[in-house]
Structure 1
Amino acid sequence: MDNNFLTIIANVGFPIALSMYLLVRIEGKLQVLSDSINELSSVLVNFK
């Protein structure tokens, strides 16, 4: 029973932890990209 439980945690826990880590990293980069797009939009509006 304990061996099966550890196997399940190893097989499921690692992908979950990796996914959470990558989502946190990507979220910051998406925020920077969104801010850049908004800034570009305002510059283009003022350029006309």
Structure 2
Amino acid sequence: MEDLYTSIANLGFPIAVSIYLLVRIEGKLSNLTTSINELSKAIISLK
């Protein structure tokens, strides 16, 4: 039973941190994609 707790502690924490970071980065990537699209439209309008 103690091995089970150790396994959960060793695997659960990194999995939780990874999921948290992926969720946070997803929003920032969406904003970055929008900004890049707007920048390309602005560059096209300058030509």
Task: Compute the TM-score of the two structures, normalised by the length of structure 1.
Answer: 0.94
Match of 1:17 in 2: 16
Q: Distance in 2 between matches of 1:32 and 1:8?
A: 37
Match of 1:28 in 2: 27
Aligned identity (percent) is 60
Over the aligned positions, Cα root-mean-square deviation in angstroms equals: 0.4
Match of 1:44 in 2: 43
Residue deviations 1:1-44 (CA, integer Å, cap 9, x gap): x1000000000000000000000000100110110000000011
Unaligned runs of 5+ in 1: none
Which contiguous aligned blocks of 4+ residues in structure 1 show a shift greater than 4 angstroms? none
